[in-house]
Chain A
Amino acid sequence: MAKPDMVMYEEEYQALQAIISRLQVDSASKVVFLVDKNGQQIAASGDVRSIDATSLASLTAGNVAATDGLAKLIGEKEFSLLFHEGEKDNLHISIVGKRGILVVIFDQTSSLALVRLRVKRASRDLQEIFEKVEARAQASSTDTSNFESPFSEITDEDIDKLFGD
Chain B
Amino acid sequence: MTFINYASREINCKIVYYGPGLCGKTTNIQWIHEQANPEKRGKLVSLATETDRTLFFDFLPLDMGTVKGFKVRFHLYTVPGQVFYDASRKLILRGCDGVIFVADSQRPRMEANIESIANLATNLKDNGFDIRTMPYVLQLNKRDMPTAAPVQEMEELLRFRNEPMIEAVASQGTGVIDTLKACARQILMELQRS
| A residues lining the B interface (CB < 8 Å) | 1-10, 12-14, 36-40, 42, 52, 54-55, 58-59, 62, 65-66, 68-69, 149-154, 156, 158-159, 161-163
Contact = CB atoms under 8 A, between A and B. Distances in A.
Given A2-B128, A153-B192, A159-B188, A8 B68 contact: no
Given A151-B192, A159-B67, A162-B64, A8 B45 contact: no
A154 B91 contact: no
Contacts of A58: 45, 59, 61, 75, 77
A6 B87 contact: no
A154 B188 contact: yes
Interface stretch (B1-9, B104-112, B143-151, B159-167): B1-9
B70 interface: yes
Interface residues on B, range: 35 or more
B133 to A, nearest CB: 9
A5 B194 contact: yes
B3 A152 contact: no
Contacts of A55: 42-43, 45, 59, 61
Contacts of B87: 69
A160 B106 CA distance: 32
Contact of B68 (A14, A65, A153): A153
A54 B177 contact: no
Contacts of A66: 56, 88, 91
Given A52-B42, A163-B184, 15 more contacts: A1-B129, A2-B128, A6-B1, A13-B5, A36-B3, A38-B14, A68-B91, A150-B68, A150-B69, A153-B192, A154-B191, A158-B188, A162-B64, A162-B67, A162-B184
B4 A8 contact: yes
B184 A159 contact: yes
23 contacts: A2-B1, A2-B129, A5-B191, A5-B194, A7-B4, A8-B3, A10-B6, A13-B7, A39-B59, A40-B3, A55-B42, A55-B59, A58-B59, A62-B47, A150-B69, A151-B68, A151-B188, A156-B185, A158-B67, A162-B67, A162-B72, A162-B184, A163-B181
B7 A65 contact: no
Given A2-B127, A38-B1, A39-B75, A158 B6 contact: no
B67 A37 contact: no
A5 B2 contact: yes
B48 to A, nearest CB: 14
A154 B59 CA distance: 27
Contacts of A149: 191-192, 194
Contacts of A13: 5-8
A149 B62 CA distance: 24
A13 B5 CA distance: 8
Contacts of A38: 1, 3, 14, 94-96
B81 to A, nearest CB: 17
Nearest to B192: A154
Contact of A8 (B5, B65, B88): B5
Contacts of B194: 1, 4-5, 149
